[in-house]
Amino acid sequence: MQVSDEPGAELTVPREAVIVLARALSHLADGHAVTVLPADAELTTQQAADLLHVSRPFLIRLLESGEIRYRRVGSHRRVDLQSLLDYRRADDARSLRAANELSALDEELGLI
């Protein structure tokens, strides 16, 4: 895709960037906030907790149990974004499996 803000000043936009932009615009149109971060970003514990929709103390327990990578900068923790996203994907998959198992059990017991 090519865009131009003035004659002769064209910019070729890679397909992947167009897809990311389309997704971001879709989320914005639905009233959701959008944040773009580099893959190697580090987050504060509050930012990470907000991303997971959990309390900060719960997130800190996840960090200290080794489920999500982090490092210390002085007395502060910095959470590895990729590790956080991996945890969220795995947690979503666990939740989906549990919901499917409950649904199957409901059917088996004739509750549905």
pTM exceeds 0.85, yes or no: no
Beta-strand pair 76-80/42-43: antiparallel
Q: What pLDDT, in 10s, does the model give residues 19-69?
A: 999 999 999 999 998 888 888 899 999 999 999 999 999 999 999 999 999
When the candidates are 3.40.50, 1.10.3470, 3.30.70, 1.10.10, the CATH number that belongs to 38-112 is 1.10.10
Predicted local confidence at residue 59, as pLDDT? 98
Domain boundaries in the chain?
1-36, 38-112
Name, in order, each residue with C-beta under 8 angstroms of 51's C-beta and a sequence gap of 6 or more.
Answer: 43, 84, 88
